[in-house]
Amino acid sequence: MPYVTAADGAQIFYKDWGQGRPVVLSHGWPLNSDSWEAQQLFLARHGYRVVAHDRRGHGRSTQTWHGNEMNTYADDLATLIDTLDLRDVTLVGFSTGGGEVTRYVGRHGTGRVAQLVLVSAVPPFMLRTDDNPGGVPVEVFDAIRAGSLADRSQLYRDLADGPFFGNNRPGAHVSQGVRDAFWLQGMQSGHRNAYECVAAFSATDFRADLDAVDVPALVVHGDDDQVVPFEVGGRASAARIKNATLKVYPGAPHGITDTHKDQLGADLLEFLNS
């Protein structure tokens, strides 16, 4: 299996499908690159080289003790892009991955980047603070951390069966297979890595990183997202990024890479071809 080596020696697994202008996909918590397989296959079959990696501590990458925070995630992503010598890249980040690609722009610039896409993404800043009064209370994230320590297998079951895919909404029909895939990928992450990643996605302030985006950007978000509320994520990011296009999926949950994969694939392809 292919890996690149990060600055501290961590092995970062990646999948490299198709040929053409490169698209790099960054996944959500506590998942791995398999969560992108529908989009990776679709875009590769439409003439793009699509690279998806497992963040350190997730999937098949090294379960490091340290480095479970956004600066290191972004630097690992830079190592991947530099090692493969990718240029004119479209960066696509889902949820926590949206933070990772945004921090990449903040730390490494857009010299190799042509476009940016945020899908159900955590920027600009999830946590409620004095200067971010519309954010999510820390008690929400403390409950996730407590659930992880108490019984993280059941935590992932509860997330997949409930808010992540909107399966707790009347009339929802999310397959058992989709929910099982979430659990399986979650359990492939390291315990400490996934635990610390909760702080990385919730308490990292990406506002300055968004201000540095100087390439065309697409922001996609469901307006019934119960994990990253639309007003906190998609609407706020689109308002902050210069030259951003916002696509709102009415009634859609957080996990639109699965629940709305056909619509998302079409919107990604349209943006890539624009």
Q: Which residues are catalytic?
A: 95, 225, 254
* Burial class, 191, CB count within 10 angstroms (exposed 0-12 / middle 13-18 / buried 19+): middle
* Burial class, 208, CB count within 10 angstroms (exposed 0-12 / middle 13-18 / buried 19+): exposed
The answer for residues whose C-beta is within 8 angstroms of residue 11's C-beta and 6 or more apart is 3, 4, 5, 61, 62
- The answer to whether the CB of 49 falls within 8 A of the CB of 205 is no
Which is nearest to 121 in space by CA: 34, 42, 235? 235
For the beta carbon of residue 207, count every other beta carbon within 10 angstroms: 16
- The answer to whether the CB of 212 falls within 8 A of the CB of 105 is yes
Instruction: Return the SS3 of 219.
Output: strand
CA torsion, ordered 16, 22, 23, 27, to nearest 10 deg: 40
